[in-house]
Amino acid sequence: MKYIVFDLEWNQSPWGKRGEIERFPFEIIEIGAVKLNENREIEDTFRALVRPQVYTKLHFGTRAVIGLTEKDLAGGILFPEAAESFFKWCGDDVRFCTWGSADLTELQRNLKFYSMLDKLPGPVFYEDVQKLFAIAYETRSVRRALKYAVEYLEIPETGEFHMAKEDAFYTAEIFRRIPTEVLGNISVDCYQSPKTRDDEVFLRFDNYEKFVTREFGTREELLENREATAVHCFICRKNVRRVIRWFSDGSGHQLAVGRCPEHGFVKSKLRIRENGEGRIYGVRTTKMISEEDAVRIRKKKLYLKTKRQNKRKK
Ligand SMILES: [Zn+2]
């Protein structure tokens, strides 16, 4: 298996929303990538400059950060050709690595625009180096800029930031410094969410579990589905009695708490998402919690209920 660390630069409508194609807000103009072997040693690099077809003028924001001009891009190749040679260069047995989750989504959106999504079937498992950096060197939930991580790890700054090839190189250098035991924290991109029950994704980490449901037509359908809303113990996996039934926590997530007679309280959180096709899927995480946490969640549910009732009275 090879690791493909890649980075994209993209442009957007220079005329704002007015000139934007809704299903194609960002047009890729540069692909940069580094190939690493299983020992995370650098084997090869890739760069493609893409001549834009939709937004041919650079947006002022893009122009300000990237080191490219319209003249440079005019010398590029068309996206289908760039994507074709990129995937050919990648080879078959690869694991993609990126800084954050945006690049994989935009790559798929551009592939879809050119009817080339079969080049990258999803859901796509990948290493989110931004997340791995946080887990390895800070706390799980922080998200740092690439430059911050480069400085933190004292990686020699050999090129500009916001150039795809350089950013891919920096991301690769950070990735090489991630301790091996942290690599298990795999991410999954669901722009192409699971289609059937067989495609559903189940990931187990040290202290939590992640389950990505298949797609549904509506939120309601998802919330009525028994598997999507099952609550089970993280330790023994048995379905457990719910002590707090599903409720909306006010930030767009659904929460429920169950209690395993043997192992204690377990929290399930269900995030409802929309995929690239406008279909609905759920990402459910499950973890053990303390009794105090369970009490706190119950109070939150009561508080939200009272708030809603008061609103209605007014
Ligand atoms: Zn249990």
Q: Write out the chain's pLDDT in tens, 314 residues.
A: 999 999 999 998 888 888 888 888 999 999 999 999 999 999 999 999 999 998 888 888 888 788 788 888 889 999 999 999 999 999 999 999 999 999 999 999 999 999 999 999 989 999 999 999 999 999 888 999 999 999 999 999 888 888 889 999 999 999 999 999 999 899 999 999 999 999 999 999 989 999 999 999 999 999 999 999 999 999 999 999 999 999 999 888 999 999 999 999 999 999 999 988 889 999 999 999 999 999 999 999 999 999 888 888 87
Tell me the CA–centroid distance for residue 235 and ligand 1, in Å. Answer: 5
Q: Is residue 187 part of a domain?
A: no
Say yes or no: 235 and 163 in one domain.
no
DSSP-derived secondary structure for 89-102: HH-SSEEEEESSSH
If asked whether residues 217 and 302 sit together in one domain, one would say yes
Among residues 133, 217, 123, 116, which one has the least CA distance to residue 175? 133
Which pairing describes strands 94-98 and 253-260: parallel, antiparallel, or unpaired? unpaired
Q: Give the number of other CB atoms < 10 A from CB of residue 47.
A: 15
On whether both 69 and 104 belong to a single domain, the answer is: yes
At position 161, the amino acid (one-letter code) is F
* 276 and 219 inside one domain: yes
Please indicate, yes or no, whether residues 176 and 208 belong to a single structural domain of this protein: no
Distance of CA 290 to the CA centre of its chain: 29
Q: Find the 128 Cα to ligand 1 centroid distance in Å.
A: 31
15 within a domain of the structure (yes/no)? yes
Q: Is the distance from CB of 33 to CB of 86 less than 8 angstroms?
A: yes
Compute the distance from residue 262 Cα to the ligand 1 centre, in Å.
5
Can you give the CATH number for the domain in which 168 is found?
A: 3.30.420.10
SS3 content of the chain, % helix, strand, coil (to 5): 35, 30, 35
Cα 70 to averaged position of ligand 1 atoms, centre (Å): 60
Q: Which of 121, 152, 182 is the last residue of a domain?
A: 182
230: in domain: yes
Q: Which amino acid is at 297?
A: I
The boundaries of the domain holding residue 218 are 194-313
Domain match, 144 and 238 both: no
Could you give phi then psi for residue 41, rounded to 5 degrees?
-100, 140
Residue where the block lists tokens 């859901």: 123
Ligand 1 centre to CA of 266 (Å) is: 9
Whether residues 199 and 170 share a domain: the answer is no
Distance from residue 264's CA to the centre of ligand 1 (Å)? 7
The answer to whether position 208 is within a domain reads: yes
Q: How far does residue 277's CA lie from ligand 1's centre (Å)?
A: 37
Residues 199 and 115 reside in one and the same domain: no
Q: For residue 68, how far is its CA from the centre of ligand 1 (angstroms)?
A: 56
157, part of any domain? yes
- Domain membership of residue 189 (yes or no) is no
Distance CA(25)–CA(20), nearest Å, equals 6
User: Which residues are placed with Cβ below 5 angstroms of ligand 1, an ion?
Assistant: 233, 235-236, 260, 262-263
Kindly give the pairing relationship between strand 94-98 and strand 124-128: parallel
Classify residue 233: in a domain, yes or no.
Answer: yes
Do 73 and 101 share a structural domain? Answer: yes
Number of domains in the chain: 2
Q: What was the pLDDT predicted at 131?
A: 96
- Centroid of ligand 1 to alpha carbon of 265 (angstroms): 9
Distance 313 CA to ligand 1 centre (A): 42
**How many angstroms does the Cα of residue 233 sit away from the middle of ligand 1?**
5
156, 182, 208 - which closes a domain = 182
Q: Is residue 188 part of a domain?
A: no
Q: Does 198 share its domain with 173? A: no
Residue that terminates a domain, selected from 143, 162, 182: 182
Q: How many whole angstroms from 101 Cα to the centroid of ligand 1? A: 33
Same-domain status, 55 and 128: yes
* Whether residues 154 and 75 fall in one domain: yes
